[in-house]
Structure 1
Amino acid sequence: MIDNKIYPLLLLILPLFYCADAVAQTGYDANETLDSIYINEVEDKQEPDKVLHAEPLYIDLIRDLGARKGEREWNVGLGLKDNNTYDEYTALVEYEFAPINRLGFEVELPFSFYYPTANGIAAPGSKLNSLKLATQYSFFVSDKIKTSMALGYIQEFELSDFRNYGKEKLFTGKVYNPFFVAAKRLGQNFHTLLYTGPQFIHHNNHAVTTNWQINSSFHYMITGTRNFIGIEFNKEVRKSDFDMTIRPQMRVSVADNLLIGIVTGIPIKRESERFSTFLRLIYEPAHKH
């Protein structure tokens, strides 16, 4: 049985998917030419090598693999998680930029707002989760085998609930997250990517705990467009516990520099989190050389 909260997402996704498919059916030869033109724009030989890869929408990258100097991107995300005793509404604002070739930086502000759904059970306090700073360097880019690899690091400074401002310490802990990314394109349309690394979580006056993230994804970029459909497998391992959320997703280009990503989250075990949805708005300002 589909959760009632998923119906609005389906009503949004189905028309977008139909439009993307209609574009793909308007002439394969013409669209194949457009694919080649788009890939050539990304992989222009006059600049440092860069391979076009489809970037996951939920666990996104700090910057494109093989980033070029002057690239920039703004992201705004909105999400909803249906838990057993409360709903969690999430929002994020992030800015990505590449000051030099192959090196990217990101600043992100993620928010969480909680509302109880069970009588007598309190929900967590709403808050700005953290100040998130990140960097990523693409150390391997091969146009010949359509493969890129990168190393990166995320530093999070966790913050107190809004209701505790002025009553407790503003910063409640830190998260240290080194990671590795490998991506390969198969032909012109199929894309695979692996994103993995440990998270070292250190709350004030507590011992450090470690979570391992293993995120894999597979995407198909629809012929003749920047649109894609795909799936993420977000896996987390901590001590003897294993959790995985499957996230079908799609991206639709609404303008040359504006894209919309739509994600559905389906946990494999309903311990506390149930279905979730996530919407990402991606704006790419003109490339500054």
Structure 2
Amino acid sequence: MKIKTSMMLIILLASSTYSIAQITKTEKDSIYIQQIEDHKEPDKVLHAEPLYIDLIRDLGARKGEKEWNLGLGLTDNLNFDAYEALIEYEWAPIDRLGLEVELPFTFYAPQSGIDRDLIPSNSLNSIKIATQWSFFISEPMATSMALGYINEFELSNFRDFGSPLLKGNIYNPFFVIAKRWGNNFHSLIYTGPMIEQNFSANTFHTTYDINTSFHYMISGTRNFIGIEFNKTMDNGDFDMTIRPQMRVGVTDNLLIGIVAGIPVSRENERFSSFLRLIWEPKHKHKHK
């Protein structure tokens, strides 16, 4: 009798353990998605955001969200190395609307045997202000769409700083569509023209960007691996850089993104690398 009772207890315990393991695995696959799409806030779909050409704010941004970014990059060119640095702040003043201010710097170092006077001068490239409105959010379809606009006030380099202070302006409207496939796979298209105005010559030059990205997000985490394809069309000329990347969460609100750049059709640019530090201060959730 004791043996039968013991066997029954072992079977029940094993069955319970198996059921708990199964539930835990199922929940883990969607735990982070549920945290984002908790149905207590305005609708929002979890998407993996590309690290090099990043969004102004999350698609379906919720009021009170904010984020600081610090970016550091290195590009190997034929005659010089270009070191990028940027600091940006983005926030959502109301639901679905994102705003951003960015200061991008570039510093140059000549390759061996190249005169410094023959390479570009260090500069604060521009003052960038941007907005993004998510006009379509569908949790059942796991799809989001947004329209946005970036305006860059181009500054003269440090060598000629102030002569003039503003040398031009870049007008950059864009469209974003993102889709999550199941729980883990993400795709995104970010596209639009860049219209550059040169104040001194009063000329305009237009290029068109098509940036596509694909990511796999690790279940139950904010970590992902993926790839970004940055494509530019300029008067019949086509350039593309492939950027494999990964994002790792250090703490609940601190992330690190690592990006490599492999040029496909660029005559002067060689390999590049980019690091993005992302800090998201916590905000109070608004409940319906």
- Any idea what the Cα deviations from partners look like across 1:178-221, whole Å, max 9, x if unmatched? 00000000000000000000000001233100010000000000
Report if the CA contact (8 A) 1:51-1:143 is conserved.
yes
Within 1, Cα distance between the matches of 2:200 and 2:171? 16
Within 1, Cα distance between the matches of 2:142 and 2:151? 30
**Which of residues 161, 171, 177 is equivalent to 1:176?**
171
Aligned CA distance change for structure 1 residues 286 and 175 (closer, same or farther; 3 Å): same
In the TM superposition, what is the alpha-carbon distance from 1:31 to its structure 2 partner? 5.2
Report if the CA contact (8 A) 2:240-2:266 is conserved.
no
Within 2, Cα distance between the matches of 1:267 and 1:46? 44
Q: Which amino acid aligns with 1:257?
A: N
In the TM superposition, what is the alpha-carbon distance from 1:28 to its structure 2 partner? 8.6
Report if the CA contact (8 A) 1:66-1:141 is conserved.
yes
Aligned CA distance change for structure 1 residues 182 and 133 (closer, same or farther; 3 Å): same
Which residue of 1 is the match for residue 232 of structure 2?
236
Which residue of 1 is the match for residue 245 of structure 2?
249
Report the secondary structure of 2:27's partner residue: helix
Within 2, Cα distance between the matches of 1:251 and 1:120? 36
Within 2, Cα distance between the matches of 1:145 and 1:254? 30
- 1:76-91 matches, cutoff 5 A: 76-91=70-85
Unaligned runs of 5+ in 1: 1-26
**Which of residues 179, 186, 192 is equivalent to 1:191?**
186
Moved over 3 A (4+): 27-32
In the TM superposition, what is the alpha-carbon distance from 1:222 to its structure 2 partner? 1.2
- 1:202-221 matches, cutoff 5 A: 202-206=197-201, 207-221=203-217
Report if the CA contact (8 A) 2:68-2:88 is conserved.
yes
Within 1, Cα distance between the matches of 2:22 and 2:69? 32
Within 2, Cα distance between the matches of 1:217 and 1:29? 32
In the TM superposition, what is the alpha-carbon distance from 1:33 to its structure 2 partner? 1.8
- Any idea what the Cα deviations from partners look like across 1:115-145, whole Å, max 9, x if unmatched? 1104244210000000000000000000110
Within 2, Cα distance between the matches of 1:40 and 1:120? 55
When the two structures are aligned, how many residues end up with a matched partner? 262
Which residue of 1 is the match for residue 28 of structure 2?
34
**Which of residues 110, 114, 118 is equivalent to 1:116?**
110
Q: Which amino acid aligns with 2:192?
A: G
- Which segment drifts farther, 155-164 or 100-109? 155-164
Which residue of 1 is the match for residue 9 of structure 2?
none
Report if the CA contact (8 A) 2:43-2:138 is conserved.
yes
Which residue of 2 is the match for residue 67 of structure 1?
61
Within 1, Cα distance between the matches of 2:132 and 2:266? 33
Which residue of 1 is the match for residue 276 of structure 2?
280
Within 1, Cα distance between the matches of 2:86 and 2:77? 20
Report if the CA contact (8 A) 1:35-1:225 is conserved.
no
Report if the CA contact (8 A) 2:239-2:266 is conserved.
no
**Which of residues 156, 159, 166 is equivalent to 1:160?**
156
Aligned CA distance change for structure 1 residues 32 and 76 (closer, same or farther; 3 Å): farther
Report if the CA contact (8 A) 2:258-2:275 is conserved.
yes
Aligned CA distance change for structure 1 residues 31 and 255 (closer, same or farther; 3 Å): farther
Q: Which amino acid aligns with 1:179?
A: F
User: What TM-score, normalized to structure 1?
Assistant: 0.88
In the TM superposition, what is the alpha-carbon distance from 1:34 to its structure 2 partner? 2.9
Q: Which amino acid aligns with 1:256?
A: D
Report the secondary structure of 2:227's partner residue: strand
Report the secondary structure of 2:145's partner residue: strand
In the TM superposition, what is the alpha-carbon distance from 1:288 to its structure 2 partner? 3.6
Within 2, Cα distance between the matches of 1:189 and 1:270? 32
CA RMSD after TM alignment: 1.4
Q: Which amino acid aligns with 2:165?
A: L
**Which of residues 138, 147, 150 is equivalent to 1:151?**
147
Unaligned runs of 5+ in 2: 1-20
Report if the CA contact (8 A) 1:31-1:223 is conserved.
no
User: What TM-score, normalized to structure 2?
Assistant: 0.88
Report if the CA contact (8 A) 1:200-1:211 is conserved.
yes
In the TM superposition, what is the alpha-carbon distance from 1:280 to its structure 2 partner? 0.2
